[in-house]
Chains A and B, each alone.
Chain A
Amino acid sequence: MNAWEPKIIAFLCNWCSYGAADLAGVSRLQYPVNIRIIRVPCSGRINPKFILGALRHGADGVWVSGCHPGDCHYIEGNYYARRKFALLKSLLEHTGIEPGRLHFSWISSAEASKFAETAREVVEAVRAVGPARHFIKTKPTWDDIEAPVQAACQVEVG
């Protein structure tokens, strides 16, 4: 039985992509239910900690969407964000987060169909990489110095 469904955190900017999600809803466009939306004022508001936070909590994928370049409600928020995202995505993937987990898009509030389509694309991409395996923060389980030492020792001492 394969009951696993990807869990994806979507950070949508208030002025464009969140509006698109809204419009997709009222237009009754179909898109997968795997995304949990968090509304942010602007894609420029996205702190890398948010994205790491989502992954640490076990999200299988993260999707950030904002206004098209030039359309930012705050004039240039998404321009700054774009540089941050490029570097963050590259750094995370360089350190071993699979490329299919992080997604970015520009979707205006009129592009309901693009929203639904991108949602499908994102969910399928995350489904293809499978459940998150790395970078999940769990409850501390080691309760004594011996436990981790033993594991490390086996490697070291054989």
Chain B
Amino acid sequence: MHAYTEKIREAAQRLLTEKKVDAVIGFRHGTVPMMSEPVCVRHADQVHQLVWNGFCGINLANYLAKRKDRVAVTAKGCDSRNIVIHLQENQIRRDQVYILGAPCHGMVDRRKVWEFLKGREPLQVMENGSSLKVSGKGFEEVLERQAFLQDNCRICTHRNPVIYDELLGDPVPEQTDVDRYEDVRRVEAMDSEGRWRYFNDLIASCIRCYACRNACPLCYCPTCFVDESRPQWVGKTLDPTDTRTFHLLRAFHVAGRCTDCGSCERACPMSIPVRQFTKKLEKDVKELYGYEAGVVVEGRPPLDTYRPDDPQDFIK
């Protein structure tokens, strides 16, 4: 069992018994390998459901916006950054949320494991420190965990929560020698037509289920632009222009706010690397305005502020 599990249960028990919070939001064991299900525990006698493992990739800040009660929540580095953004955007008050910070070693990408197994179905996946033991009918493989992390985790530079009330373990060393934008630069190097085709192929299989949007803690608009009908900005068929409009605007709506938590990509049933849209914006925001989303509560997100001397070479 992961070392955090006991600590989460202990904290949940304490917070619920002392009535410090009304509920604890965390994860429970999933029903399929390499999945954990977000759960909301309201009574101290249910805290045994709470677990922690390398499959807790979904961003729990998604369950916090506009809440009225007081909750405790387990938060990885990225989750904590999204909580910071919620605070900046007045989606929740700081005194409403008790953050159980989880220094994180990255989350496992089950698609990478599937790909490795080439059609063999994993029936059980166990974590043991830096290895993953995957077993199924007639096979057992021990994999190096690091090689099967989500793409965003491999280049994560905020593994430790940036804000918390208690920490579930010692801070982990931050990755400092990662190149966050290698893939963006590769696309940038293509010519215009090549980039058009690249993104065409990227979203060709999109079924417009909006899992990427809904898995995102930043997408809390009461009415999404795709649902607006007067005027209707985007058609609802699988027309490539409509699909692209959706992906472009979804990405633009999270510009300067996206923490690259990877929930969108993790949620996509068609395995579309949707982060290719948001990462470009993240890179631009960093280069133009020197801002990283959700790292400090003070100050405003980059599109909610300006400097008189902002770059404007592109303006005549």
A and B, direct touch (CB closer than 8 Å)? yes
User: Which A residues contact B (CB, under 8 angstroms)?
Assistant: 48-49, 52-53, 56, 69-70, 76, 79-80, 82-99, 103-106, 118, 121, 134-138, 140, 152
Cα A106 to Cα B277 in complex, Å, equals 28
Cα A105 to Cα B195 in complex, Å, equals 26
Given contacts A96-B197, A106-B315, 5 further A-B contacts (CB under 8 A): A52-B245, A86-B314, A87-B281, A96-B195, A98-B192
Interface size class of B (residues with CB under 8 A): 35 or more
A51 CB to nearest chain B CB (Å): 10
Cα A121 to Cα B304 in complex, Å, equals 31
The reply to whether A105 and B310 form a contact with Cβ atoms under 8 Å apart is no
B272 CB to nearest chain A CB (Å): 14
Instruction: Type the 1/0 row for B193-207, where 1 means its CB is closer than 8 Å to any CB of A.
Output: 111111110001000
The reply to whether A52 and B248 form a contact with Cβ atoms under 8 Å apart is yes
The reply to whether A104 and B315 form a contact with Cβ atoms under 8 Å apart is yes
A/B interface sample: 25 pairs, CB < 8 A? A52-B248, A69-B308, A70-B308, A82-B306, A83-B302, A83-B306, A86-B312, A86-B314, A87-B252, A87-B255, A87-B285, A90-B281, A90-B284, A91-B277, A91-B284, A94-B195, A95-B195, A95-B196, A95-B244, A99-B192, A104-B315, A135-B244, A137-B242, A137-B245, A140-B237
The reply to whether B249 and A49 form a contact with Cβ atoms under 8 Å apart is yes
Interfacial chain A residues near B306, Cβ < 8 Å: 76, 79-80, 82-83
In the complex, chain B residues 260-316 whose Cβ is within 8 Å of any chain A Cβ? 277, 280-281, 284-285, 288-289, 302-304, 306, 308, 310-312, 314-316
- Does chain A have a CB within 8 A of B174? no
A152 CB to nearest chain B CB (Å): 8
Interfacial chain B residues near A93, Cβ < 8 Å: 192
- Does chain A have a CB within 8 A of B116? no
Interfacial chain A residues near B187, Cβ < 8 Å: 94
Cα A69 to Cα B310 in complex, Å, equals 10
In the complex, chain B residues 223-270 whose Cβ is within 8 Å of any chain A Cβ? 225, 233, 235, 237, 239, 241-242, 244-245, 248-249, 251-252, 255-256
Given A48-B249, A79-B308, residue A103 in contact with residue B316 (CB < 8 A): yes
Quick one: closest A residue to B225, CB to CB?
Answer: A49
A20 CB to nearest chain B CB (Å): 12
Quick one: closest B residue to A43, CB to CB?
Answer: B315
- Does chain A have a CB within 8 A of B179? no
Q: Which of A69, A103, A118 has the most CB of B within 10 A?
A: A69
User: Which B residues contact A (CB, under 8 angstroms)?
Assistant: 184, 187-188, 192-200, 204, 225, 233, 235, 237, 239, 241-242, 244-245, 248-249, 251-252, 255-256, 277, 280-281, 284-285, 288-289, 302-304, 306, 308, 310-312, 314-316
Looking at chain A's contact residues, is the secondary structure mostly helix, strand, loop, or mixed? helix
B181 CB to nearest chain A CB (Å): 12
The reply to whether A86 and B284 form a contact with Cβ atoms under 8 Å apart is yes
The reply to whether B192 and A56 form a contact with Cβ atoms under 8 Å apart is no
B57 CB to nearest chain A CB (Å): 26
Q: Which of A49, A80, A135 has the most CB of B within 10 A?
A: A49
B205 CB to nearest chain A CB (Å): 9
Cα A107 to Cα B303 in complex, Å, equals 23
The reply to whether B244 and A94 form a contact with Cβ atoms under 8 Å apart is no
Interfacial chain B residues near A137, Cβ < 8 Å: 235, 239, 241-242, 245
Interfacial chain B residues near A135, Cβ < 8 Å: 241, 244
A57 CB to nearest chain B CB (Å): 11
Cα A85 to Cα B284 in complex, Å, equals 12
The reply to whether A85 and B315 form a contact with Cβ atoms under 8 Å apart is yes
The reply to whether A95 and B284 form a contact with Cβ atoms under 8 Å apart is no
The reply to whether A136 and B241 form a contact with Cβ atoms under 8 Å apart is yes
B34 CB to nearest chain A CB (Å): 28
Cα A93 to Cα B237 in complex, Å, equals 24
The reply to whether A91 and B248 form a contact with Cβ atoms under 8 Å apart is yes
Cα A69 to Cα B316 in complex, Å, equals 12
The reply to whether B244 and A69 form a contact with Cβ atoms under 8 Å apart is no
The reply to whether A134 and B196 form a contact with Cβ atoms under 8 Å apart is yes
